[in-house]
Amino acid sequence: MNDIHDRLKTYEGRAAATAGTGKDLVNEPMIRHWCEAMGDTNPAYAGPEAVAPPTMLQAWTMGGLSGHTGRSDAYDELLALLDGAGYTSVVATDCEQEYLRPLRPGDAITFDAVIESVSERKTTKLGTGYFVTTRMDVRADGELAGTHRFRILKYTPGAPKPKGKRPRPVINRDNAGFWEDVAAHRLLIQRCGDCATLRFPWLPGCNACGSRAWDTVEASGSGTVFSYVVMHHPPFPAFTLPEHAADAAGPYAVGLIELAEGVRMVSNVVGVPYDKVRIGMPVRLEFLRVDAELELPVFRAQDGGEG
């Protein structure tokens, strides 16, 4: 274990890039595109006296699709060493820049980068690994214009989390009645006491007229899939339906169900694979026991999903 740490430390101070050159001079079209993409309308970045936005510093050094210039072997060796020790994943964690002088159209960019530090072994929420910090010195016509510090974490992904409990609904004064009736296997929709507009989810007042008077009607239980999304990443095993338990980390469908009464609710569609849920599919209410404390209204597909 200490062996790799000592080897990693030997890379501190070594070059990550030497005598790199910017692929273009600092130029107005790239500045304009950047400002449009960022929505930055600062007048300092346009006109005959324009300077480049300081935060573009790194853009002038990027290799683009045609590749980097001046990248050293040391940085690639360091990453390969970490890969070989099992730290195969990488995530960029942060970036710090210092600006020493403005960049102007026509400036020729050169840069050098050094592997500034390799951390001790750290354990993060993502997994265990090493932070690698590089510092790039960016020069304009040979004069130091700014520095760009960039940090990555090379890590071994942590073990997948055990399946947790499905998150509990938030029950408060406004919706407690709804959940009491779910426990009794009834799905109640609020109805305005003044204008009779139905509403879901439960709220203290009427969206249509503002009245706070209300009673309820019981849903017939029939409905259709109004819309849906299929959730792929990140996986949330707690949301996997019991009938799909064999693939607990797999995708699942989130349905927006339009009840026969006209209101819509977000729920699960059961009795059909996630990729067979379809808009317009008829569904019927049932109650799913998720665990000892939680039962949820869900909707069972009525035509097997082949329509």
Let me know the angle formed at the C-alpha of 18 by 16 and 21, rounded to the nearest 5 degrees: 120
- Would you say 115 and 13 are in contact if contact means Cβ atoms under 8 Å apart? yes
Which span sits near Zn ion by CB under 5 A: 87-95, 157-165, 187-195, 295-303?
Answer: 187-195
* Identity of the amino acid at 140: A
Residue 217 engages Zn ion in binding (rule: CB under 5 A): no
Q: Rule CB under 5 A: is residue 189 a binding residue for Zn ion?
A: no
**In whole angstroms, how close is the CB of 202 to Zn ion at the nearest point?**
14
- Name the residue with tokens 């930055």: 40
Three-class secondary structure of residue 222 per DSSP:
strand
User: Could you say whether residue 213 binds Zn ion (CB under 5 A)?
Assistant: no
Specify the stretch interacting with Zn ion by CB under 5 A; choose among 11-19, 37-45, 195-203, 251-259: 195-203
**Residue 200 neighbours by CB under 8 Å, 6+ apart:** 189, 190, 259, 263, 264, 265
Q: Name the H helices within 10-61.
A: 28-38
**Tokens at 239, concatenated:** 């949301």
Q: Which stretch binds Zn ion (CB under 5 A): 22-30, 127-135, 184-192, 253-261?
A: 184-192
Q: Does 230 bind Zn ion (CB under 5 A)?
A: no
Using the rule CB under 5 A, which residue among 195, 217, 266, 279 binds Zn ion?
A: 195
Is residue 225 a contact partner of residue 257, using CB atoms and an 8 Å limit? yes
Closer to Zn ion by Cβ: residue 81 or 192? 192
SS3 state of residue 239: helix
Question: Is 203 near Zn ion (CB under 5 A)?
Answer: no
Give CA separation, 55 vs 44, 45, 104, 176, 195, in Å: 13, 12, 13, 50, 55
114 binds Zn ion (CB under 5 A): no
Minimum distance between the CB of residue 206 and Zn ion, rounded to whole angstroms?
3
What sign has the CA pseudo-torsion 291, 295, 297, 301?
A: positive
CA neighbours closer than 13 Å in the CB half-sphere of residue 254: 8
What distances in angstroms separate CA 172 from CA 176, 179, 180, 213, 294, one per listed residue? 6, 10, 12, 18, 16
With binding defined as CB under 5 A, does residue 211 bind Zn ion?
yes
Give least dist CB 179 to Zn ion, A.
23
The answer to the question of residue 209 lying near Zn ion (CB under 5 A) is yes
Cβ at position 191, least distance to Zn ion in Å: 9
Least distance between Zn ion and beta carbon 265 (Å): 19
124 in contact with Zn ion (CB under 5 A): no
Among 16, 59, 153, 192, binds Zn ion (CB under 5 A): 192
Q: Is 198 in the site for Zn ion (CB under 5 A)?
A: no
Q: Is the peptide bond before 201 cis (omega within 30 degrees of 0)?
A: yes
Residue (80 or 209) nearer to Zn ion, CB: 209
Give least dist CB 173 to Zn ion, A. Answer: 20
Binding site for Zn ion (CB under 5 A): 192, 194-195, 197, 206, 208-209, 211
